[in-house]
């Protein structure tokens, strides 16, 4: 299982702050697509993703036990 964490507006879109999905051996891009389709979470292509607390590109292959965090851009002044 892969643990997925949501922050900011993504937490509201998902209706929870975390979930577990079966995605071992698939890419981060595959996970984004699955979440967009199955849970109707939009704009995942515009957010940063971290795998095991390190920012990761979409071609990162996910392994059993990984934690993926989706972190939207933050603005401030």
Domain 2-71 coded CATH 3.10.20.30: yes
Q: Which pLDDT does position 77 carry in this prediction?
A: 54
pLDDT for residue 57 is more than 80: yes
- Measure the CA–CA gap between 32 and 36, rounded to whole angstroms: 6
Q: What is the pTM of this model?
A: 0.90
54 falls in which pLDDT band (50, 70, 90)? Answer: very high
* Beta-bridge mates of residue 68: 4, 51
Domain chopping of the chain, boundaries = 2-71
76 falls in which pLDDT band (50, 70, 90)? Answer: low
Between 21 and 72, residue with greater pLDDT: 21
In the chain, % of residues over pLDDT 70: 96
Count CB atoms within 10 A of the CB of residue 28: 23
- Measure the CA–CA gap between 53 and 33, rounded to whole angstroms: 21
């Amino acid at each position: 299982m892969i643990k997925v964490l949501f922050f900011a507006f993504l937490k509201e879109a998902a209706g929870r702050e975390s979930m577990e999905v079966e995605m071992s051996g698939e890419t981060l891009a595959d996970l984004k697509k699955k979440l967009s389709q199955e849970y109707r979470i939009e704009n995942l292509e515009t957010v940063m993703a971290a795998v095991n607390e390190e920012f990761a590109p979409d071609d990162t292959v996910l392994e059993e036990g990984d934690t993926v965090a989706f972190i939207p851009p933050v603005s401030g002044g």
